[in-house]
Amino acid sequence: MKFLLIGAAGYFVNLAVFGLLLKVGVPYLLDSIVSYFVSNALMYLGNRYYTFSLGHEGFWGAYGRYILVGLVVAGLNAIVLAFLVEIAGLYAVYAQAISLLLITPVAFLLNKRWTFSDRAAPQ
């Protein structure tokens, strides 16, 4: 439930940033990457301290892993987004909303198993 709460907050931040950037003329694929990493940074803090209660030790190492997962997820999001906009003909904001929902399980599994895993922390 905690992951879902943080994810929902990140989802709405992402869509807000995406909509704002789209409105000022940023191309939707660049927009999706920027908005993803804005929400990604906020979700890292929320997941680290609230969802997984990890404290400060190993912060930067885990953040490095989180950024790597974020790159994978942002890439997947851009692919799905481009498909939904270019092939399915959806408006970019709606396509972003759908794409984020589709890639959330991938982000959760990668972050739970690698980024925030006890095995990933230095011993």
pLDDT score, position 119? 54
As a whole-number percent, the residues of the chain with pLDDT over 90 amount to: 54
Q: Report pTM.
A: 0.81
Question: Tens of pLDDT along 108-118?
Answer: 888 777 776 65
Sign of the CA dihedral with 7 first, then 12, 18, and 21 last: negative
Instruction: Say if CB 6 and CB 50 are below 8 A apart.
Output: yes
Q: Name residue 34's amino acid.
A: V
